[in-house]
Amino acid sequence: MKQFLFLFGLAALLTASQSHTPTETFTLKGIVLDKDTGDPLIGANVLIQGTKQGTVTDIDGKFQLEAAQKCVTLEVSYTGYTMQTIRKACAGKDIRVEMSPSGILLDEVAVTGYGRDRHKKAQKADAVFENPRFAAPAPMQGAVAPGNYGDVQDNWNTEDYDAITENRFYEVGKEPLSTFSIDVDAASYSNMRRFLKNGQQPPKDAIRIEEMVNYFDYDYPEPEGEHPFEVITEISDCPWQPNHKLLHIGLQGKHIPMDNLPASNLVFLIDVSGSMDEPNKLPLLQASFKLLTDQLREQDRVAIVVYAGAAGMVLEPTSGANKQKIKDAIDKLRAGGSTAGGAGIQLAYKTAQENFVKGGNNRVILATDGDFNVGASSDADMVRLIEQERESGVFLTVLGFGMGNYKDNKMQKLAGSGNGNHAYIDDISEAKKVLVSEFGGTVFAIAKDVKLQIEFNPTRVRGYRLIGYENRVLANEDFNDDKKDAGELGSGHTVTALYEIIPVGVESPHLASVDELKYQENTVKASASKSKELCTIKLRYKQPDGITSKLLEHPILDKGVKLDDSSDNFRWSAAVAEFGLLLRGSEFKGNATYAHAAKLARSAKGKDANGYRRELIDMIDTMKSLAEPDVAGKE
């Protein structure tokens, strides 16, 4: 009996041991070439037939792929070429794939990144002015509507924007604190400009007023002392509601000269799926990244990861001194296939972590139209993935391109969850602004998790409203919680926030009455009525590699400055906000008119070296001429 139990136990042990034996994997290696020229095809998709397991070819046309079997069947595809099926592709053998051009012009290739299943029906960006001067623009050459390829006509415009519920007014006696995260993004402004240039009314949820205000530079003083930014405040009359006040809060990040920036470890994560096969997407993306490449130094390193039907590295980490090699890799990219965004993000972060530069600038730069539809594709899945990856110390920049299927809501969530920023590139001039003029601010953070909390004095302020920042509002207890993620501030960046304030003694329909509490009462300290302070601003931030925040406090006094005597900074930000309120059709626009916004903007245009402010004034004037009389007002 004992012998039987011993043998039974031994057999069970052997069985358990065998069941935990690691599964053997096989490495397949090969190269993909143009059959006629012998040139390597960069970014070709290589998939194991019947699976989602695959990769893409690198700058030399080579690929490497792990498989569970020694021999598999591969499917190799590349835009403009006939797909190849390679049977009995085996580990240990050099796999050579020669592809022939399909003879189909690129603008005839079906955009397989699109489909007829439109399960997300957020607000569509298709509202066009009825004015005949603003007829809907014709599609750009090469941009083919998906309906041309199916038996059912698709809705060509599938742009997605999260609904924005505007911040309301709060009564100070009930809620004296307001807490929010900073936002340096400016994607909403360039996206809005794209709509107006194309003769279209932007969807109201595409208008994020704080991003319009923060698109512009302001003449703030450079910070001095230990902190990486300066806090600037100003109070004057509210232009669209004369009985109210407007509080202007500005942050100026410290400018770090390019030569003094630490070494950069960058991963370009580029969407080359079928939906990117349009002139204002991949070609503009390529031109933009070549501008960025020109800013790199010898100590900077760049890797390029692409994703379509599969994700893979097309350029191993390369010194910024080898600019031509980086540009050649960018030039050879082609679009085609579905969108394995999740796999691309994972590979990009893995690459950044493997080449991490301690004390350096470690960042993934994602460029896409946001149309992820294979693998981890839901917003929640992608956000959780990004939140996990940000703990590595790698920051994220999200660059949006294109129109028609632009997923603004998804890119906002990715940038907000990944210690990142978000810009929309509508033309090469915007690419130059974001990736050249503002290079340091775009790719190098000087402070992270920057949060503001304002406490209003109830003896001087009856009510308040934060203008914009709806997706950045925090719970009051989040301010002291160092585990709570917040916004990042880049080198030389400015951040501006506006509060509309209802002074004590001013009646307002925006302050709804609330019954008195039965079990407790609010009391005001005697010192509050004696204080001349309107409010106190508290600010927390961390160093880019820090885990503990630092606290700053600034009491604010109302000096009674009239609007005409306020600074250009104040009047310009107010004019931009007024324009935004009108574009949104805000219930809080008060007496705002396009005519008044244009007049106020002209009074504060200042030097305007790059012409950005002149451009905004022209757009306000255009809207003024097209708006209905009761909205436009009179000069």
State whether 568 and 470 are in the same domain.
yes
Phi, psi values for residue 319, rounded to 5°: -65, 145
* Distance between first and last Cα of the chain: 106
Number of domains observed in the structure of the chain = 3
Residues 6+ apart with CB under 8 A from 137: 198, 199, 200
Q: Is residue 117 situated within a structural domain?
A: no
Domain range for 95 is: 26-106
Task: Give the end of a domain, one of 62, 86, 106.
Answer: 106
User: How many whole angstroms separate alpha carbon 589 and alpha carbon 469?
Assistant: 16
Cβ of 554: how many Cβ atoms within 10 Å?
Answer: 14
State whether 432 and 452 are in the same domain.
no
Q: Is residue 129 situated within a structural domain?
A: no
Token couple for 576: 């931009």
Tokens 């099926």 locate to: 85
Mean pLDDT by 10 residues, the chain (635 residues): 49 47 81 91 88 86 91 88 91 92 49 34 37 33 32 58 96 95 94 92 95 96 92 97 97 92 95 89 95 95 91 94 96 81 87 94 92 62 79 90 89 84 94 92 91 97 97 96 93 96 94 84 87 95 94 95 97 98 97 97 94 96 77 45
Query: Partners of 489 in the beta sheet?
Result: 447
User: How many whole angstroms separate alpha carbon 253 and alpha carbon 307?
Assistant: 34
State whether 596 and 490 are in the same domain.
yes
Task: Give the end of a domain, one of 399, 422, 441.
Answer: 441
Question: Which letter does DSSP use for residue 434 in this model?
Answer: I
Q: Is residue 127 situated within a structural domain?
A: no
Question: Rg of the chain over CA atoms, in angstroms?
Answer: 28
Q: Is residue 4 situated within a structural domain?
A: no
State whether 352 and 244 are in the same domain.
no
Q: Is residue 475 situated within a structural domain?
A: yes
State whether 175 and 238 are in the same domain.
yes
Half-sphere CA count of 503, side-chain side, radius 13 A: 16
Single-letter residue type at 447: A
39 in helix, strand or coil? coil
Is the separation of the CB atoms in 461 and 176 below 8 Å?
A: no
Task: Give the end of a domain, one of 66, 82, 106.
Answer: 106
State whether 280 and 243 are in the same domain.
no
Tokens 């052997």 locate to: 14
Query: Long-range contacts made by residues 426-430, C-beta under 8 angstroms, separation at least 24?
Result: 426/190, 426/191, 426/193, 426/194, 426/197, 426/280, 427/284, 428/284, 428/287, 428/288, 428/291, 430/190
CATH code assigned at 613: 2.60.40.1230
CATH code assigned at 92: 2.60.40.1120
Sheet holding 170-171, edge to edge: 170-171, 461-467, 494-503, 245-253, 229-237
Tokens 């095809």 locate to: 41
pTM value > 0.85 = no
Question: By C-alpha distance, which of 79, 77, 32, 40 is closest to 60?
Answer: 40
Q: Is residue 354 situated within a structural domain?
A: yes
Q: Is residue 160 situated within a structural domain?
A: no
State whether 391 and 458 are in the same domain.
no
What is the pairing mode between strands 170-171 and 177-181? unpaired
State whether 277 and 311 are in the same domain.
yes
Give the pLDDT of residue 602. Answer: 98
What is the pairing mode between strands 361-368 and 264-271? parallel
State whether 404 and 335 are in the same domain.
yes
Token couple for 89: 């592709």
Q: Is residue 219 situated within a structural domain?
A: yes
The string of DSSP letters for 474-536 reads --GGGGG-TTS--EEEETT-EEEEEEEEEETT---TTS---PPPSS------HHHHH--EEEE
Question: By C-alpha distance, which of 608, 556, 596 is closest to 238?
Answer: 596
Give the pLDDT of residue 188. Answer: 97
Question: By C-alpha distance, which of 186, 188, 168, 187 is closest to 178?
Answer: 168
State whether 299 and 402 are in the same domain.
yes
CATH code assigned at 282: 3.40.50.410
Question: By C-alpha distance, which of 341, 368, 336, 342 is closest to 44?
Answer: 336
State whether 569 and 595 are in the same domain.
yes
State whether 427 and 533 are in the same domain.
no
Cβ neighbourhood burial of 547 (10 Å; 0-12, 13-18, 19+): exposed
